[in-house]
Structure formats: structure tokens, C-alpha cells
Structure 1
């Protein structure tokens, strides 16, 4: 059995049926594409066409039985709230006696449906409202689209809030796109500012990018692509370039023809700056701004290719600053960094525009020269000329920390031509040539020769031999005696000799620098100190030797070891030697860094009676603060000053100053390298009381020293 709101036959339905419309009206209303409901003067519905029966469904029960003013109607306001009685379109039509048009209302149910409602009052003969005809049109889909648009707009607002994205939209039927306020703001304009809205956007594209952009857009529109992405530059109001990323979608019709382009421009200025910074950190030296080793390798690969193609020689110059570590250690790293920056500046000013510069690290720089000629002789001549300019430029005084400083470079050169090998091999060859320059007196240029590689190989073999010899203790000590002014033997200095299986007995000058450079000086120094303490312990049992002191050279590497104090004390304890008879000879380099730690270690040993001597005083970056801050017992006048006595007035003045200073500070002075009686007489006359040198005694093996002086 049908309910009363179900359609009966093809047409609508009356409540009650006797209220039927004239013939033909019902059929006419049934073809209207809208729901039609007729309400009586009491606001109750008494007719609904077929569309209304389908559209409103069970809601007609309430409309038929409940007055509009009762508040029971199943309608909602456009905002989703309950519909008050006075806002009901039927009641408003009854009260106002006029039409109420286009009211959006909601229909309660399992899912809310939204309707456009138009209410039209029909007046009777006496002017009263006889009935109200209401038309309902379903706009639910439009309502959903409207909400979707609002949601999209809000999402876009949130996405763009605080971002650099600048929206724009171009209906291709129009000559100009819509450019958002943010778009203009990105270029320094305000929305509505004179000239901003009227400006043609192609005129704001960088001239060098416009052709590329136009070509890209033309190809995009001619294709079937829907997404686009392109980078180009716009011109800011202040004249600078603004790199942007344009991206978005192309809207096409059913035939695939482009109708609209929409998207955003993103300001890439910050990203480009960050990208440039990352590139600089990866390929450039932070301190000097020069290319680093990584970029040099990439450049050299291209340079070698060009050289092979052009058959032109080139040269790689390896530059190392002489005595830089000593300056860096004595004056501080800040001063050293300032020197490196100044050196980089002088290199830029000296080399040609076509040359290449790099800093490998530390005080090592590289200059690469191209197009030096087709013959090796021409390349050598050109390189020598440029090398001379570099020596002159880098040898000029530097102003560092309010004082003048002179620094010289040693330069090694490796030539390359059509048969050039790899970059690493060239660097090694130039490095070897640089060390030859240092060995030849520094402040000079040397070219790589095959014999240098052979020498380097021999050096590596020698280092391996040295390591093996330390392990097997293939060393012996010699002692050079030290005498007082009265001729009395006071002590000796220990000098180590290496008994090499092939090369025989080697003096310290032939292997100590190698030990320093390789780090083997620490175990070698420990070996020498251990043997020296055993000698002291043995001398303590001999009547003629027990009062002697024994001086042992200690390197900066040894003194910087965290457990240096413990090692020395343990060595003394195990040997049974008297700490008061042990004198550790130091050079100024040990005071260059970690001053507090060095001072603490020296004081700790001094507390146990160990003595300290400052060797080669006056030859390096001497500082009087050393004499004040560190617990020294004696100074040793370097042999280079003693050798020029007594005829050289400058050497005499230096020696006199050292002796006077030591006397004031209550320090003993030992003169090294005394080889003539005239030297000894001069030193005695000027107050020196301890002497060491070939005039008095040459270094002897320990057994020979003990035999010679133990029976004297």
C-alpha cells in the first residue's frame, strides 16, 4: 500500500484529493523541472507535483500537517542552523503578502540537501492570501562546489601565508594575466601603485631570459603537457635581479587547446644565496677565498686536456712559506691567518688573469700557468720569470700586529705538456722540488727533476729503516765534554748516533729532521733519555764522574706528550739516576704553543731537581718572556755567534748582551762551538764560565769518554 506522499500515476498529488486543480494544470506542473508545493492560508501544504514528491520525500508529511510558524518544519538556514519560524519562506509570504525569492535552505535528513526556495503568495478576491506557491530547486551540488572553493581558497591562503610564493593567473583570451599583490610586492611594487598594474610583465623579465621564457611558453602551449616548471629572472624595482621559479598547471578544453595558465612564482634569492654559499664552502678556502684542493683537481683535469690538445707547455708551482710554523706558533694563529690572507692577496696581484690560484691548506699555495710555449726551454724561461716575480712580491715586508715581519717562499715547479700525467703526480713532483728549494737555502725556485723522485724514495726507505732501528735500539750515544773557565770538567752533552746497517754511523744531522717530520722523534727521544739516565746512574758510582751533569736534547714533540713528566720520572726511578744531574736541553719551538701546559710540566720536573737549558738562544723568535716565565737554569750561546768571535763586532755585541742578561737573571751560560783559543779568551774576558767545543774536546763514545775522563 502506498503512502500519501508517493506519486500516483504520472502526476503530482493533492491533499485531500478533492482539492484537485483544473484539468491540464496538474500535467503542466509535472513537467516543470522544479519541485512545486502549494500551501493554504494556514501554511499547510495541500499539493506537491511529482518532482517535489521525489525531492522532498518524507518532509512533505511535516509540511502537510504542521503550520509553518510551529518551528517543526525540517528546514535549515543557509549557514546550517535551525530555521526560525519568522524566516520560513511560506510564513514570510503570508505575512508580507509579497514574493520571497532565492532563499537557500537546507532539508533535514540522513544527508543535508540544499535547495533554492522561491515563495509566491496568491491573493483572493478580497486581497487575502489564498495560497502560497513554493518552488524548490536542488542546489546541493552547487553548495558543495562553493564549499570546496572556500576550502581551497583557505588552504591556498594558509599555504601562502609567510611564504615567498606569488600567485598569478592568465586567461589566455585576455592580453594580460592577473598578478597578485604578492607578485608585485616581490618586485618592490605596491598593489595599485601608479605604473604597477599597467606594467607589461614581459618588460619585467630579464632581457637575457625573455627569449628563453617565450620559447618555453610557446612549446608548452603547443604540447599536451599540463604541468610546467621554469626558472628565470625578473627585474626588481631597484634594478637588481630576482631569480624566480614559475610552476603551475595549464587548463585545456576538451580538444586539448590551452585556455588558462595558473601558478605561482617563488622568489629564489635566498635559495640561490644558500646554493652559492654551499658551493663556496665546497670549492673555496674559507680563510683566503682562493680555490681549494678539490676545485684545483677539477680545474687541473681541464687544464691538462687543453695542454694536450694545444701542445702548449704549462707549469704547476707549489709554494710553501719558509718558517711559517715558527711564526704561527710564536705570534699566534690569528697573526698567522692574517699573513696567509696577505699572501693570497699578493698572489692575486702578481699572477696573470689567465693563471690559476689555489690554497691546499696550511701555508701551501699552488699557481698553475698555461700557454708557456711549445718547447720546454721556453716554458722554463717563462716560469723562471714568473717565479722571480712571486719571490719578490712575497718577500716584501708584512705589517702584522703593529710590527714588521718578513716572510720568504720556497717554490717547487713541475712542468707538464702533451704527455702530462695525473694531477696527483704533478703535485707530488712540485712538492719534491719545493723541498729541494728549502734544502738549497729557501727563498728560491727549483724545478722537478727525475733524481728528486729517487731521493724521495730513498727518504721513505730511510724512514722505514729508522723505525726498525728504534725498535731494535741500533743507536749509540756520544758525549761532548763541557769545561769551566778553570779547565775543570763539569759535564757533557749527549749526542746520538745511528749505526745504520748499510750507511754506517750517521750523525744527528742526517736523521733527526726525518725523525721530527715522521713523528719517530718521540720513541727515539725516549730511547736516548733512558740510556742517558743509565749512564748517569753508572757515573754516580765513579769518584771522578759522579759530580758531572749530563745534558739531553728534548724535542717539542716529546714535551707536548701529555704523560711526558711521568715518563721522565719513571725513567729516572728505574735507572736510579740523580735528577739533579740531568739537564734537559730545549729549543725555543717548545714554547710556541700550549704555554701553560709546557710551563706546568717543566715546573713539575724542576720540583724533582731536573735542570733545563735553552739551546741556540738568539737564533729564532727569541722572547725575554721565556726567561721570565719558564724555570730555566742556563742559556747556550749558539755556535753561529761564537764562530765570528772575536773579530765580528755584531757577534760580539750579541754575546755580550746574552752574558749580561744571564748574569742579571742568575742563569748559567754555556758557549757552544768553541774551536779556537781566541774565541775562548774573548768569552772568558766577557764573563762566560762554561765552554763546549772541539778546542776542549770532541764528542766521544760513552766508553771512550768514561775511559778518558774517568781516569784523568
Structure 2
């Protein structure tokens, strides 16, 4: 490689040839490029060729400020043209030192450049010598460190962690800006105070923290985690989690501890909130069922161990659902909050109070003494106070509202009793209180449990009986005033394996409450329709109507209409002979739905009879709206005839109303000839009761009233 160097100031004597200089420059481990006065490169040593590659040719061909050789600033941005070190030296005549430049290419190189002016005899810049060494590895390390620092900075900005560093041997502590900010102080408030972390610590935490630090320094652990509290500038304490690393000397002794403090205020508040949601009722703030059970699991063995008696009072608000339905759920919630407040004000601070859910509350009384009699008396007194407190009117919806409680009490003490058993006993006692008039208190007795067990057993038997079809259909005749058969009412009897024949009063209510009434009702309806289909071929029975009782639960079932029509179609029974007998309770819920279903069935010929008329929701509006065919005078009015004037007046009113609305009337429960004669004299044309015919199995009924032509009048 040739150069165009010549003698001049600063150059060796002429005894040194240009070739000597080239050899010398090629041996040094740095790149050297000489640029002429026009900024083009005129010489490059061997190292420069290796580092710059093809860029040397461009430097020879183009001016330094042409931009043909792109260079980079250390931050990765393009180096401005006028910042080229050659241009800087030519422009200012001053050298450029330690300039870091990036050279793009297949492999980015970073160079540390120094540029020097070479002057002629007149002191003018004749050439520029640029010397450079590669620093790519150093730049990569620096960039990596910068990125790491940036990541750390961003991470610290986005976190609540406060770094600190403690030199254990010297006692010097560095507190970060955030360390002080976390406690409400300005940055580096007490940077020089090595014991600030101790002076700000909660006094109750100090012994535990000191013991922990001493053990940590003496151990061989390299990391740690510890919670404590530091005093905020405004006086409250900030819960913090301190985590960090322990640096140890060659002997394993801890000489330096560095870590971060994390503000746990939000986490502790979340923990508190989670605990509240898990163990407290959101509406009233009272302990919930879970917390009550946890407390009872401790109270029961404690009382048994100490020989003390206690009581659990189970409180249920009377008619709360009706209040919710009439005044709305907001009013219901307001009532529950007020009830909770009154309970708090009535019981002792040492008593346990909880809301189980809905309108159910529990009060647990502890330490009522060793005497069971005295404990019962104490529980009765507390119950009386609760009844009095809760019976006072509540100001809801801008008007006073009375909501009384029913309270069941279960005692506990030395006897072994589980939490579940205790709650069940109090619950049973509460239902006894409701059954005996509400707004009262009842204590549990073993007879209640026995009754419930019998009820459960009976319900299981009922389920099996329905599955096994162990029921028998009976019919009770309905006679005209001429004594001949006009209709019959279907009655159901359960043939129990051990109890014999069970009357409907003992199992219909259970079937309704358990939901089995729909299946049972369908069974009875199918059997009745099969009978009607048979009777259609019997000259004495073909005109007889058959009344089948239908529960309000059945009528509310979405598939009821389809079920009735399917049974009629499957059996071939004449629909006009089928009377579905409803009680007035069907009018208590969703009148539109009930009316629509009745009208649909009436359009297919099915008739409807209103049973027990005058005892429930009787209304002229209902009689006009629903497609009824007949009314039944309830036996409660018939039994007082003819001597009781009010009963007679009611019967007269029902008969007059029926004539006006063109409805037939059946009087049921006739047991004496005087009752029969009174009703016939008043114009009642259909009669039913034991005087006229007892219920008989349907097969006997058919045999007795069928084609054999039996005389139907019974005197």
C-alpha cells in the first residue's frame, strides 16, 4: 500500500522512507487512516483495512461529509455529517479524542477514534490522521448494562419496592428515595441516619426483628424474608415485607445485607376484605354461617370441659318473604340491617351473633352456669328481650312495618353434641314456634326430633310408593236431589306396608312440598280417565262426571296442559265428563298463567270446579274471570247447618251467587238428613257426604253404581 507522505514538521528525518512508515504502521494493533485536505482517505494501514473493510474504498472515493460512509452515534442514531471526526479536525484544526463511532455493515463494529491534524510549514492542516481501536465487545457490555439498568429502573418505577443497603460491619445504611417516600418523608430525608430503620419501627416488632437479624447474620442463609411495621410521617404504621440477600465473608459471616421493602398496606387490606367476605355477612356485617360454625366448634367443647351450660337461639322473621314481595328487596335489606342492629343492642358483648342467610339469625349464649334449670331460665329471659326488641315497628318505606320473630332454643352443655345437631335442634324448635302462632319462643325437646325422623321416613316411603304405584283410587258419590248418581269425587288412599291405609291429609302436603305431587297427580288423573273411558260404555255411568283434585303445584307446572291432553288422548276419556277440582290457593300466584291454562283446557271440553269455596281467596272477580263450571260449598259451612244462622246465611249467599253466574253447586260433608233437607230446600242440586255414600274403591264403586241398576238413594 502506498502513501503520499512527505517530509514536514513532526515527521522523522528523510532517512525514513515512506515504506519504512508503512511497515511501522502495519505492525501496530490499531487502525490508522490518513485523510487529505479534501477529507478523502489517502492511506490506511493493515489493521484499518481489517476493521473498516469496504468502507476504505468509499473513504478514498468520497468526501468525509458526503454521507456515503454512514456512521452511528453511541446511542444507535445516525451520526450527523458535520460530526464526522475528519470534518471536525479540518473545520476547527483541533484534535478529537476518544470519540465512539459505530460502523454499520454485515457486522456492526464500534470504534474508539482519535483524530489529529497534520500541519504544513505554515501551520495549516494538510492532512488528518485518524487512529482507532475496536471496542465492539465493550459497547455490547455497556449496552447490556444500560439496558439492564433501564429494566431495573423501570421495574422499580412500576413497583412499590424500596431498595436499601446495610453494611453490617460499619453500620452504614443507604436508604433509597422510595424508602423515604413509602413513609411519607421527602427524598433522602435521613440518608445519613444509620438507625432510621430502627427508630421508625413499631416497638412491638423490635424484639422479634432484632432476634431475626442476629440469627440471620450468624446463620449461613443467603436470602431472607421478614414482615414488620414502620411508622409513617403522619403517625400510622405501614406494614412492610422486607426481602433481600446476605453477603458473607470468607468465614461465612454476614457482612452486608441488601434488599427491598414492599408496602403491604394494599395486600393487608385485601386480606382483611377477603376475610370479611369469607366470614362476615356483607349486608349486616355480622359473622356468617362459616364463622359461626367455627366458633361453635370451639364453644361446645369448652362448655363441656368447664361444666357450663349454653344456649343457641335460632331466629327467623315471620312473613319476611311477603314483606320482600310487597315492599321490595331494598326494604327487605333495610329490615335485615335494622334487625341486626337491634340484636347487637340487645345481647351482651360476650355473646355470639351471626346471620345464617336470608332472614335467619343466631345468638349463642355462653357461660350460663352449671345449673341446667338456671341456664334455661336465662335463655328464656334473653329470648323474651329479643322478641320485644324485634317486635317494635320498623321504619321502612316511609311507614312503620311490624316484623315479628319466631325463636327456637336448643341448650348445650356437658352432653356430647355436634354443631350440626345443635343447629338442627334449634331449627326444629323455631319451626315449632311458627306452627304454634309465630312471634313466640319454643325450646327443643326430643319429641320434635322423633317427629322429624318420622316425617323423613314417611317421605322416603312416599317416594317408593309412587315408584311402586302403591295407591288406590276411591270414589265418593255426588247425588242429585232425586237421589240418583250425578257424579263422583276421586279420593286417593295410600296402601302403606306397615301403617295400612293412609289418608290424603297425611301425605298430600308432603307430596306438594317435596315436588312429588306432579308425578302423583298424573298417576291419579290417568287412572280417573281410564275409568271415564270404561264408563262411557255403561248406560248408568256414561253421564256421570268425575272430579279429580288438582294441586296448585300441578297447575303451575309448565307441562300441565300438555299432560292432561295427552292422558285424555291416550285413554279415550270424554273430556266433558272430567272435572278438575281446584282450591282457591291457585289464585294466590300468577293469575294470568292459571287463567290461560284453564281456558286452554276448557276449550277442549274439560270442566273446572272450585273446591272449598268461601274459605280462601274468594273474589267475584275470580269467578267472572276463570272458566268455572261449578262451586263446592265447604264442609266447614255445612257442618253447622241448619242451626247456625251465619252458616245458613253464607250458604244462601253462595247459592244465590252461583245462580247469578249460572254455576252448579255441590255441597260436601253432608252427614245428617237435616243438613241434606236444608240444602235441598235452599236450591242446592248436588249433594256429597257420608250420609249419601262413603268413599269406596273405584272397582266397588263401578260394581255398585253400574249397570246392575242399584238404587242410589240412601236414607
Structure-1 residue corresponding to 2:419: 423
Provide Cα deviations, 1:308-330, integer angstroms capped at 9, x if missing partner.
343322233344556777x49xx
- Structure 2 CA distance for partners of 1:264 and 1:347, relative to 1, 3 Å: closer
Structure-1 residue corresponding to 2:6: none
Aligned pairs (5 A) from 1:27-66: none
Structure-2 residue corresponding to 1:517: 513
Match of residue 453, structure 1, among 433, 443, 449: 449
- Structure 2 CA distance for partners of 1:412 and 1:75, relative to 1, 3 Å: closer
- Structure 2 CA distance for partners of 1:630 and 1:153, relative to 1, 3 Å: farther
Q: Which moved more, 1:108-117 or 1:523-532?
A: 108-117
Is 1:382 the counterpart of 2:378? The answer is yes
User: Are the aligned partners of 1:39 and 1:90 in contact in 2 as well (CA < 8 Å)?
Assistant: no
Is 1:346 the counterpart of 2:346? The answer is no
Structure-2 residue corresponding to 1:493: 489
The alpha carbon displacement at 1:586 in A equals 1.9
Provide Cα deviations, 1:455-505, integer angstroms capped at 9, x if missing partner.
333333333433444455444444445567888865343332334343333
Gaps of 5+ in 2: 4-10, 167-171
Structure-1 residue corresponding to 2:7: none
The alpha carbon displacement at 1:583 in A equals 1.9
Structure-2 residue corresponding to 1:711: 712
Structure-1 residue corresponding to 2:500: 504
1:648 and 1:337 mapped to 2: Cα distance?
Answer: 48
**Corresponding residue SS for 1:602:** helix
1:499 and 1:690 mapped to 2: Cα distance?
Answer: 30
Q: Which moved more, 1:197-206 or 1:683-692?
A: 197-206
User: Are the aligned partners of 1:491 and 1:548 in contact in 2 as well (CA < 8 Å)?
Assistant: yes
Is 1:97 the counterpart of 2:93? The answer is yes
Is 1:614 the counterpart of 2:607? The answer is no
Structure-2 residue corresponding to 1:8: none
Structure-2 residue corresponding to 1:268: 266
1:410 and 1:82 mapped to 2: Cα distance?
Answer: 86
1:541 and 1:710 mapped to 2: Cα distance?
Answer: 20
**Corresponding residue SS for 1:179:** helix
Provide Cα deviations, 1:220-250, integer angstroms capped at 9, x if missing partner.
696564575758698699x9x8988767756
- Structure 2 CA distance for partners of 1:413 and 1:596, relative to 1, 3 Å: same
- Structure 2 CA distance for partners of 1:563 and 1:306, relative to 1, 3 Å: same
The alpha carbon displacement at 1:682 in A equals 8.3
Aligned pairs (5 A) from 1:236-247: none
Provide Cα deviations, 1:192-228, integer angstroms capped at 9, x if missing partner.
xxx8558779999999968649975995696564575
Structure-2 residue corresponding to 1:632: 628
The alpha carbon displacement at 1:301 in A equals 1.6
- Structure 2 CA distance for partners of 1:298 and 1:589, relative to 1, 3 Å: farther
- Structure 2 CA distance for partners of 1:263 and 1:569, relative to 1, 3 Å: same
- Structure 2 CA distance for partners of 1:46 and 1:176, relative to 1, 3 Å: same
Is 1:465 the counterpart of 2:466? The answer is no
1:242 and 1:614 mapped to 2: Cα distance?
Answer: 74
2:55 and 2:329 mapped to 1: Cα distance?
Answer: 95
User: Are the aligned partners of 1:313 and 1:415 in contact in 2 as well (CA < 8 Å)?
Assistant: yes
2:386 and 2:325 mapped to 1: Cα distance?
Answer: 25
The alpha carbon displacement at 1:145 in A equals 4.5
The alpha carbon displacement at 1:552 in A equals 2.0
1:402 and 1:159 mapped to 2: Cα distance?
Answer: 56
**Corresponding residue SS for 1:297:** helix
Aligned pairs (5 A) from 1:132-281: 136=132, 140=136, 143-152=139-148, 155=151, 165-166=159-160, 168-170=162-164, 177-179=176-178, 212=205, 223=217, 225=222, 257-258=255-256, 261=259, 268=266, 272=269
Aligned residues: 675
User: Are the aligned partners of 1:242 and 1:267 in contact in 2 as well (CA < 8 Å)?
Assistant: no
1:157 and 1:297 mapped to 2: Cα distance?
Answer: 50
Match of residue 602, structure 1, among 569, 591, 598: 598
Provide Cα deviations, 1:76-104, integer angstroms capped at 9, x if missing partner.
54455777875443453344222333422
Q: Which moved more, 1:52-61 or 1:285-294?
A: 52-61
2:58 and 2:335 mapped to 1: Cα distance?
Answer: 100
Provide Cα deviations, 1:32-59, integer angstroms capped at 9, x if missing partner.
xx969695876899999xxx98799655
The alpha carbon displacement at 1:18 in A equals 1.3
Q: Which moved more, 1:621-630 or 1:348-357?
A: 621-630
**Corresponding residue SS for 1:559:** helix
Is 1:18 the counterpart of 2:16? The answer is yes
Is 1:563 the counterpart of 2:559? The answer is yes
2:374 and 2:144 mapped to 1: Cα distance?
Answer: 79
**Corresponding residue SS for 1:606:** helix
- Structure 2 CA distance for partners of 1:568 and 1:84, relative to 1, 3 Å: closer
Match of residue 549, structure 2, among 553, 556, 560: 553
Q: Which moved more, 1:295-304 or 1:655-664?
A: 655-664
**Corresponding residue SS for 2:304:** helix
- Structure 2 CA distance for partners of 1:445 and 1:78, relative to 1, 3 Å: closer
User: Are the aligned partners of 1:166 and 1:266 in contact in 2 as well (CA < 8 Å)?
Assistant: no
2:199 and 2:115 mapped to 1: Cα distance?
Answer: 60
2:529 and 2:211 mapped to 1: Cα distance?
Answer: 90
